[in-house]
A and B are shown apart, each in its own frame.
Chain A
């Protein structure tokens, strides 16, 4: 290879440096390698990366790309799991990481205004210091950006009670092709004016425009919390607990499921003190503003679990014990990663009454294809995370796991579920999304995209598969 920057890239580089600055443009092949993928197993090939510092700079980049017919892929920290930010061939990556200021924390209106590159966990610590709460807590919160969270509707364990990112977006500023700025909403918590174009950008995965500023809703921080670990000798009983609890009109903050495969993987990786003979474990957390309120919730939870034959109920008596219970669950992903070179984390979501059925289906389908699977997930909201432990070097196994994923997606759809609860569609689930949405729905999406992005340059190749194009 001669030099590190090809000739056409060199022109591109010079032009973009003219628009931005030298330190805001990355064109060396070495750097570009690090921008080829997200946390999924898809790989793309960008031509250049730019790191704008303001909305105006984003506009300028977009204008340039649009005039020159170059595809644009917005990016945060690249922790997505569905290939949403994996670049189309030759695309310009617009990395929003350096627009990372918290612009305003408004304690009187309970809102926070942020730039897209702010790291999710930094929002948590900023608001929690003030006794406030921003609930969405994706597992990658320490690295993921708020812009990426909004563009992909990120969720997390607290989704059961508090919903996901999409439920906290009050206002957005977005740059749409060919470089215009649209503003939606603001600090108001009621809004009934016109089409909600901002809402359309939430979950649009960079296919319509680029989020350059967001106003988020905050709530007072619940002061009391109790954490429990509940063991069952039958996985089915653990899964039935979900709808039983919901029917008892209890919505826990968190309701996590771990099957035996998961428990054993965790114990092997890190002695968390989980009972390895349990066929199913539930980690349940209830919170509230009054201690009594939390106590009452806990009592109902205990009763429900006992009725279903829970074999052991462990309630954390202090923060330290709670942390210990969480330590196992938090190392779940690491435990899978330790057991296999490649972990594919899926995220179908079903109505809560169907949790036992989908768990059964996942087990059966994986067994049929001979794939090792651990089930963890935010079952409280019906969001399942089957984690397939495979080896990407094994072609045959990868083919089998693809088939298993597809069948699980179909099973979820038959149960009235959806193919993704919080990871987004990207490339990974484009086919499944089309099964779920149907031709007509996808046609409307395509038509909408055409209005925003007539040249189809915004993150092309995501959300659906163009006819004639190939599957994954």
Chain B
């Protein structure tokens, strides 16, 4: 065994505890799409054991097999032996990185998103050339036909000229005595792309009587780095955010991005070995406090659907809250429960960009159903899902809007 495998050593027991029962297959979007035994957690645990036993060495195929995981951890939820799949995959990727280096695309993405002000500058820098090769519509940018040939996405996000943090960082007071002081963790997508989500969250919290604190100094949640196996980078980012919020003396932190929340909640504390402040997904927070919106501003008769992101799988209240809104309002519009409501969008952060064929295949059923049932608005609580869904719908020439539920309030 070469020394680069050392970080995997501590998971040796987990590899023994993996019964190879195959229950992980039942939930894995990549397996369902490819039907390859090597592209499931069971297969990957076997491959890791093989690496540690010296049956194989880290090579291109090993890299592919580890990269072709969405890190949705749907499998971990059903694993009888409770194998910490997310952690093991991140470590496995770190091992691959140290042997083979990080792929250039990932390096670029990580670099671009690791510092939110840099991301903002990059976005405004590219907005002009972007205008030349794309057509702007209401929901995003449509790449022209030549560009579309090379791009896995059929609709690109629209970047604002200023970031959300540029516009809204600071302390916002409600009318009257505040019910509480809440920190808002913005996340990269809301900061740069879906700023309307940010405004909706802020306004709704103020309307509910909360004081909202948005620290200017907040960064990436760390999930992209963690998922790429850049574990030290992720640790730094987690620590940075904790620092930013702990100064603010808030009761708790909310975030609109299910993936950011899962990073804070599931991996953040473990990474830096510290109990973190409570971070809750906004819809779950509202439901818990019985202040979910009871009216949505949509045209009468519109057909609404819900996409449940993988990262609320472990968080029942957050997972159900958007559905609850759709159900309680059903006299104004039509809630169409999709059979594929809980199925994967294929995105998984940068997974979809790096594995476009897989991504398109995974989201196929979902997009097809949305088109067939002619849904006007899809709501979801994960900006990454939103990006991939919007792109998939554009690809199928379905003009549905995808947005965060609070944007409809």
List the interface of chain A (C-beta within 8 A of B).
1, 4, 26, 28-31, 33-39, 49, 51, 77-79, 95, 97-98, 100, 117, 121, 140, 142-143, 333-338, 341-343, 392-393
B1 in the interface (beta carbon within 8 A): no
B61 in the interface (beta carbon within 8 A): yes
Contacts of B144 in A (CB 8 A): none
- The reply to whether B82 and A338 form a contact with Cβ atoms under 8 Å apart is yes
B360 in the interface (beta carbon within 8 A): no
Cβ of A246 to closest chain B Cβ, rounded Å: 32
* Contacts A79-B22, A393-B16 given; does A33 touch B80 at CB 8 Å: no
Contacts of B3 in A (CB 8 A): none
Interface residues of B in 1-53 (CB under 8 A from A): 13, 16-17, 19-23, 25-27, 35-38, 40, 42-44, 46-47, 50
Cβ of B47 to closest chain A Cβ, rounded Å: 5
* Contacts A77-B22, A77-B25 given; does A30 touch B59 at CB 8 Å: yes
- The reply to whether A30 and B82 form a contact with Cβ atoms under 8 Å apart is no
B55 in the interface (beta carbon within 8 A): yes
Query: Measured between alpha carbons, how far is A433 from B20 in the docked complex, in Å?
Result: 25
* Contacts A333-B80, A343-B19 given; does A34 touch B25 at CB 8 Å: no
- The reply to whether B19 and A143 form a contact with Cβ atoms under 8 Å apart is no
* Contacts A78-B37, A143-B26, A334-B80 given; does A34 touch B17 at CB 8 Å: no
Contacts of A38 in B (CB 8 A): 20, 22
- The reply to whether A1 and B57 form a contact with Cβ atoms under 8 Å apart is yes
Query: Measured between alpha carbons, how far is A341 from B27 in the docked complex, in Å?
Result: 22
Which of A33, A37, A39, A97 meets B47, CB within 8 Å?
A: A33
Cβ of B44 to closest chain A Cβ, rounded Å: 8
- The reply to whether B23 and A143 form a contact with Cβ atoms under 8 Å apart is yes
Which of B35, B46, B59, B80 meets A98, CB within 8 Å?
A: B35
B85 in the interface (beta carbon within 8 A): no
Smallest CB gap from A393: residue in B: B16
Q: List 4 additional A-B contacts (Cβ < 8 Å) besides A38-B22, A39-B19.
A: A29-B56, A30-B50, A143-B22, A143-B26
- The reply to whether A33 and B35 form a contact with Cβ atoms under 8 Å apart is no
B151 in the interface (beta carbon within 8 A): no
Contacts of B19 in A (CB 8 A): 39, 337, 342-343
* Contacts A34-B47, A143-B22, A143-B25 given; does A341 touch B56 at CB 8 Å: no
Smallest CB gap from A97: residue in B: B35
Closest 8 pairs (CB-CB, A-B): A142-B26, A34-B43, A334-B80, A97-B35, A143-B25, A337-B80, A34-B38, A34-B37
- The reply to whether A30 and B80 form a contact with Cβ atoms under 8 Å apart is no
B105 in the interface (beta carbon within 8 A): no
Contacts of B79 in A (CB 8 A): 334
- The reply to whether A33 and B55 form a contact with Cβ atoms under 8 Å apart is yes
* Contacts A1-B57, A4-B59, A333-B80 given; does A30 touch B21 at CB 8 Å: no
- The reply to whether A39 and B21 form a contact with Cβ atoms under 8 Å apart is yes
Cβ of A344 to closest chain B Cβ, rounded Å: 10
Cβ of A204 to closest chain B Cβ, rounded Å: 22
- The reply to whether A26 and B22 form a contact with Cβ atoms under 8 Å apart is no
B327 in the interface (beta carbon within 8 A): no
List the interface of chain B (C-beta within 8 A of A).
13, 16-17, 19-23, 25-27, 35-38, 40, 42-44, 46-47, 50, 55-57, 59, 61-62, 65, 79-82
Smallest CB gap from B50: residue in A: A33
- The reply to whether B20 and A39 form a contact with Cβ atoms under 8 Å apart is yes
Contacts of A31 in B (CB 8 A): 36-38, 61, 65
Query: Measured between alpha carbons, how far is A96 from B40 in the docked complex, in Å?
Result: 17
Contacts of B25 in A (CB 8 A): 77, 79, 142-143
Contacts of A4 in B (CB 8 A): 56, 59, 61
Cβ of A217 to closest chain B Cβ, rounded Å: 25
- The reply to whether B43 and A33 form a contact with Cβ atoms under 8 Å apart is yes
Query: Measured between alpha carbons, how far is A30 from B42 in the docked complex, in Å?
Result: 13
Smallest CB gap from A340: residue in B: B17
* Contacts A39-B22, A77-B25, A142-B25 given; does A30 touch B81 at CB 8 Å: no
Smallest CB gap from B35: residue in A: A97
Query: Measured between alpha carbons, how far is A142 from B32 in the docked complex, in Å?
Result: 10
Smallest CB gap from A93: residue in B: B37
Smallest CB gap from A337: residue in B: B80
Query: Measured between alpha carbons, how far is A37 from B36 in the docked complex, in Å?
Result: 14
* Contacts A4-B59, A4-B61, A343-B19 given; does A30 touch B26 at CB 8 Å: no
Contacts of B36 in A (CB 8 A): 26, 31, 34, 51
- The reply to whether A51 and B35 form a contact with Cβ atoms under 8 Å apart is yes
Contacts of B55 in A (CB 8 A): 29, 33
Cβ of A184 to closest chain B Cβ, rounded Å: 26
- The reply to whether B46 and A37 form a contact with Cβ atoms under 8 Å apart is yes
Smallest CB gap from B54: residue in A: A1
- The reply to whether A337 and B47 form a contact with Cβ atoms under 8 Å apart is no
Contacts of B46 in A (CB 8 A): 33-34, 36-37
Residue from the set B37, B43, B80 with the largest chain A CB neighbour count within 10 Å: B37
Contacts of A117 in B (CB 8 A): 35
- The reply to whether A30 and B22 form a contact with Cβ atoms under 8 Å apart is no
Contacts of A98 in B (CB 8 A): 35
Cβ of B56 to closest chain A Cβ, rounded Å: 5
Query: Measured between alpha carbons, how far is A26 from B61 in the docked complex, in Å?
Result: 11
- The reply to whether B21 and A338 form a contact with Cβ atoms under 8 Å apart is no
Contacts of B42 in A (CB 8 A): 34
Smallest CB gap from B14: residue in A: A341
Contacts of B17 in A (CB 8 A): 337, 341
Residue from the set A28, A35, A117 with the largest chain B CB neighbour count within 10 Å: A28
Query: Measured between alpha carbons, how far is A137 from B328 in the docked complex, in Å?
Result: 36
Query: Measured between alpha carbons, how far is A95 from B38 in the docked complex, in Å?
Result: 12
Contacts of B81 in A (CB 8 A): 334, 337-338, 341
Contacts of B82 in A (CB 8 A): 338
Contacts of A37 in B (CB 8 A): 20, 46
Contacts of A333 in B (CB 8 A): 21, 80
Which of A49, A79, A97, A100 meets B21, CB within 8 Å?
A: A79
